Structure formats: C-alpha cells, structure tokens
C-alpha cells in the first residue's frame, strides 16, 4: 500500500502506536512499566524506519501518549489491561519522550529547515503538541 501511495504522489505518515501496543511489548516486556521501555520502543521505531522509511513522509511514533497510558494501565481497556493508578502514573511518566520524538521526527528524519512548511497530524497528541511548539522555530507556517 505504501508503494502505491508513493507511486501516486501521496506522501503518507506512519503511526506506530495508535490504540494498543504490540503484544511483544506489553506482554513480554511489561510495556511502559519496564525501566528500558523507552529504549525498546526507540529500537522498534528505528527498525520500522529502516524497513519503510523511504515510503513515508513522516512519523507519529505514539499517538496520544497520555490516553494510551490511561487505557492500558489505568482503565484497563487496552493491553496490558491493568487497573492500577500507580501503574498508570508510572506508564505516563515514561511517555513524555514527546519532545525528543518530535525533535527527531522534524529535524533528524524530516530534515525540516527554515522556510519549509510542516503539517502536524494529530496535533492534540503529545508528539503533535510538541511538534507544534518546535516547528515554528524553523518552518514557514501557512
């Protein structure tokens, strides 16, 4: 599908976590409660980028990080299905990598330079909110 998009002149963005996290991450690795969660997720993002990076225009590594933490660790409606406020707060504390993620997406991967425009999809998410704050420093806002 990504190849068809590219061939049609469409520049899609990839969201690597929208809703539930992969089972290998939540079940086998304790999800965001593991001390190495951020590093594991970053490696996952790197692997996916190596495979499809030339087919997408940009990345949203985690859509709505706070909602993901709440659903998986507080409400228990998403894997790993926990109902524990302490787990929720711990998972939420691991997710504010939003500014680092947005910085990498905009400037390292996206190579945003002064004068270019940027479209921030899911601007209400943690990464999107960070991108909205970082992008005007270099981009031309329409």
pTM: 0.52
Averaged over successive runs of 10 residues, the pLDDT of the chain (142 residues) comes to 88 78 76 75 80 81 75 82 82 68 80 78 70 62 42
> Which pLDDT score, from 0 to 100, does residue 142 have?
43
Tokens of 4: 């068809």
Q: Among the residues of 16-106, which ranges form H helices?
A: 23, 37-52, 65-69, 85-94, 98-103
pLDDT of residue 52: 87
CB burial of 113-128 (b: ≥16 within 10 Å; e: otherwise) equals eeeeebebebeebbbb
Domain ranges in the chain? Answer: 2-137
For residue 32, the model assigns a pLDDT of 73
């Amino acid at each position: 599908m990504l190849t068809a998009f590219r061939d049609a002149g469409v520049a899609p963005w990839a969201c690597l976590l929208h809703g539930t996290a992969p089972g290998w991450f939540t079940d086998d690795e304790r999800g965001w409660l593991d001390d190495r969660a951020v590093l594991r997720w970053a490696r996952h993002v790197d692997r996916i980028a190596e495979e499809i990076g030339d087919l997408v225009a940009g990345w949203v590594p985690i859509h709505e990080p706070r909602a993901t933490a709440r659903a998986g660790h507080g409400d228990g409606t998403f894997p790993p299905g926990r109902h524990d406020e302490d787990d929720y707060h711990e998972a939420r504390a691991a997710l504010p990598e939003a500014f680092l993620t947005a910085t990498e997406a905009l400037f390292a991967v996206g190579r945003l330079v002064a004068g270019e425009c940027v479209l921030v999809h899911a601007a209400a998410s943690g990464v999107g909110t960070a991108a909205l704050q970082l992008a005007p420093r270099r981009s031309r806002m329409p």
